A and B are shown apart, each in its own frame.
Chain A
Amino acid sequence: MVPTNYYLILSAILFGLGVLAFVFKRNIITLFMAIELMLNAVNLAFVAFSQALGKPDGEVFVLFVIVVAAAEAAVGLGIIILTARNRRSLNVEHVNLLKL
């Protein structure tokens, strides 16, 4: 029987790694992957809590999170394709027109 804490800490670690990836990587697609990683960490926490509290609500939330992640991936990748077409680069540091 695994204590809930272990799961939570694992999810914290994964989340931190996701954040690290987000600030560290330059490739837009990889940044999206980092976001997915964070979402997964959150899902893990949800499931862990729902197991700990003995209520399946948390898992329902996980389902919603997954749906949202899928939608976000679809739109986000569309945006990425456009960006790549227009800017001829996937490096997020070259996509810096959002400034004065």
Chain B
Amino acid sequence: MPILENLWIIPLLPLLGSAINGLFGAKWSKAVVNSVALGSTGVSFLCAVEAVREFLAGGSQPFRKEFFDWIVAGSFRAGFDLQLDQLTVVMLLVVTGVGFLIHIYSTGYMAHEGGYYRFFSYLNLFMFFMLILVLAANYVLLFVGWEGVGLCSYLLIGFYFLKKSAADAGKKAFIVNRIGDFGFMLGMFLLFRSFGSLDFQTVFAKAATWQPEAMGQFGTITVACILLFVGATGKSAQLPLYVWLPDAMEGPTPVSALIHAATMVTAGVYVVARSHILFSHAPTAMYIVAIVGCATAFFAATIGLVQSDIKKVLAYSTVSQLGYMFLACGVGAFSAGIFHLMTHAFFKALLFLSAGSVIHAMGGEQDMWNMGGLSKKIKATYWCMLFGTIAIAGFPPFAAFFSKDSILFAAYNSEKGGKVLYGVGLLAAVLTSFYMFRLIWLTFYGENRYDEHRVHVHESPGSMTGPLMILAFLSLTGGWFALPALFGGKDYFAEFLSPVFGAAEAGGGEAAQSLEHILSIVAVVAATAGLLVAWRMYSKKVTRGTSEGVHKLLYNKYYVDELYAAVVVRPLVWLSSNVLWKVVDAGMIDGAVNGAADGAAAVGDAVRHAQSGNTRSYAVWVVVGAIVVIGIVFWPILHPALFGGVR
């Protein structure tokens, strides 16, 4: 059966799984819920693979099909259109594959949790929306997926909704995303306004014909791109809207792995890459993207240095890695960005899941200061974690080495302020390797800082370690697409994506072969430096350091949350409670409503006396009416204006 022709099957399956679990799962045993959830995702993964096979077999021609009309209003059409090209292929495989692995992992991790069926229903629903987002062939449908994953993220962050912090985190994520979405919608409106359509094909085709705007010029495309990017910052946790992601760690760890590391948060990157034509026509927007990405990468890394919660560390690491991706897109190395997106999906999912395994082993403990010396007890987890760390730190031949390397290379080659970007990125890389190895040492080395009798550490079941190993393998080999590039060969990944990005891609150029070697060596050195510093500081240190000065500042995340609370939240609360509620709502709106009611009552009081309830009076009125009508009909002289009676 040609999957490519009915692409809708791929997103539909998770939806069905979600519906079935959500409706009937409450009654069913875990085994049944598992089979439904895993079955739906697994089959949809297989379908995706099959679809990709057909796609490649078909000479990898971009596939696009309009399945049915969804909204049609005048010239505007938003249909349920799905498309499949190289970019989609990457995203599709990442989403379904990693998603499937994380589903398997979850069966083990969530085994002892309540609301089992609910969790998997949400998870499947997320898969559905994510796939819609990835496969969508127009901005509107993409936005559906966009909002849908937001919803699922909200639901899953607040999964333990009895915990206030969890519920608040969920709300925070949702609201912050709203701000981004607002920008995104404005961007869509502007695009429709200027291109008369929101269909990728048409928009890009028309945009391609436009004259690229000059640097520093804020033309239509630029503004649209910036607005889209605002949405991206919200979804992908970039400055200044990153604040929700760390709090999102309140959710179950698999959720953090799937949604807040591997897939959803990369949606922003995907959108930017998808609309690369627009961006390449708007250098200003590109520059802003690059700067924001770079800044975020560094900024988040610095916060990550001092966090004591193992998941928080990973969260900030995620933010900074996303920063790298945006940096890549900003400097025009879209394929590099997507490349890093993929590798990041592998190793960050690996790290999160390992962390989850650790937490599982520690019986829910998340503070690294209460761990230590776990390397003996939970070997499998330890090795997986180590793989992930090496990978993210960027040691060859692990995945991130290649992806991050190509990003930094592109940044170095970018014409405007490339050196600065490169420098900051490199610094961020050092910090990355530092905090990651800090995590390793605090968690797995030194003597244990926890109560043996209370916590009894145990290795996780196979259902958890299995996916870990697969991901470990992937994060080792995931980068080897670009391996030949080092030795003068060509970057197969960029090659694969080139039909999509084509001209927009800012290639390093062959001349820079030697330069690339130098840069990669520098990167490895930087990573090693971070490793050494971490070793120096934490291999012996056993007590939680008193925090003052810079450390305090970082530990409190630059007081950004407090700042927002003071600048945005409190004024808003004051406004809504004192003005909008007391004045507008209670005063004007209620006043209008009650006023209308009172007016009606008054009129009724006035005229109700005509309603004597006495049939005879009514009869008399009827007689009067009859007289008037007959008079009008037969003696129009009474009313010259009216029709001329019977002739």
Contacts and interface: CB of A to CB of B under 8 A. Distances in A.
A23 B623 contact: yes
A92 B615 contact: yes
A45 to B, nearest CB: 14
A72 B6 CA distance: 65
Given A23-B616, A23-B620, A93-B615, 20 more contacts: A19-B623, A22-B619, A23-B623, A26-B616, A92-B614, A92-B615, A92-B616, A93-B614, A93-B616, A95-B615, A96-B613, A96-B615, A97-B613, A98-B611, A98-B613, A99-B608, A99-B611, A99-B613, A100-B604, A100-B608
Interface string B603-618: 0100010011111100
Interface of B: 604, 608, 611-616, 619-620, 623
B604 A96 contact: no
Contacts, number: 29
Given A23-B623, A100-B608, A31 B613 contact: no
B83 to A, nearest CB: 66
Contacts of A97: 613
Nearest to A23: B619
A92 B608 CA distance: 20
Given A19-B623, A23-B620, A100-B604, A31 B615 contact: yes
Interface string A61-88: 0000000000000000000000000000
A71 to B, nearest CB: 21
Interface of B is mostly: helix
Contacts of A96: 612-615
Nearest to A94: B614
Interface in A13-41: 19, 22-23, 26, 31
Question: Which of B604, B608, B623 counts the most A-chain CB atoms under 10 A from its CB?
Answer: B623
Interface of A: 19, 22-23, 26, 31, 92-93, 95-100
Contacts of B620: 23
Contact of A100 (B611, B615, B616, B623): B611
Contacts of B616: 23, 26, 92-93
16 contacts: A19-B623, A22-B619, A23-B616, A23-B620, A26-B616, A93-B614, A93-B615, A93-B616, A96-B614, A96-B615, A99-B611, A99-B612, A99-B613, A100-B604, A100-B608, A100-B611
Report, nearest first, the 5 A-B pairs whose CB atoms are least far apart: A99-B613, A96-B613, A100-B608, A98-B613, A92-B615
A86 to B, nearest CB: 15
Contacts of A92: 614-616
Contacts of B612: 96, 99
A40 to B, nearest CB: 18
A70 to B, nearest CB: 22
Contacts of B604: 100
A19 B627 CA distance: 12
A95 B614 CA distance: 7
A17 to B, nearest CB: 13
A95 B623 CA distance: 20
Contacts of A100: 604, 608, 611
Contacts of A95: 615
A8 to B, nearest CB: 14
B601 to A, nearest CB: 11
A96 B616 CA distance: 10
Contacts of B608: 99-100
B605 to A, nearest CB: 8
B299 to A, nearest CB: 71
B624 to A, nearest CB: 11
A95 B617 CA distance: 13
Nearest to A97: B613
Contacts of B613: 96-99
Contacts of B611: 98-100
A31 B619 CA distance: 10
A61 to B, nearest CB: 19
A26 B614 CA distance: 10
Nearest to B608: A100
Nearest to A34: B619
Nearest to B604: A100
